[in-house]
Structure 1
Amino acid sequence: MPRMQPVESSSIEAVGFEPTRNELTVRFVGGGTYVYGMVPRSVFDDLLAAESKGRFVNQRIKPRYPFRKA
């Protein structure tokens, strides 16, 4: 698992990115952790810059990238 960094969000506790595999890891406040594959670094950077991290994940990550529970 990549190094996780906390984010300001009511629904997301922390995120991490593994550049060698283009995997985004998201740990939700409810406790679930998911790994999204084939995510470009630029999308991870956009997530970190997003005003609403939860909305970004719901609109730009979940519908577009395959995932598995970590």
Structure 2
Amino acid sequence: MNIDRAIFLLAGTLVVLSALLTLLVSQWWVLLAAFVGLNLAQSSLTGFCPAAVLLRRFGVASGCALR
């Protein structure tokens, strides 16, 4: 698995988790989904993704989009 796929997996998991927690616990969990969306938009505009930096430190191979 490369960083690009790991980012998609992480973002998708966090959005689904946020949706479930919003339905089951509190409406404030929708802020997690908003944060993930804003982070994805920011990384697409700047090319910098904090999650990619962390995943790289854990030894995940580089992909073609996030280096």
TM-score by length of 2: 0.32
Q: Using CA pairs below 8 Å that are at least 6 residues apart, which structure has the higher relative contact order?
A: 2
Which structure's CA Rg is the greater one?
2
TM-score by length of 1: 0.31
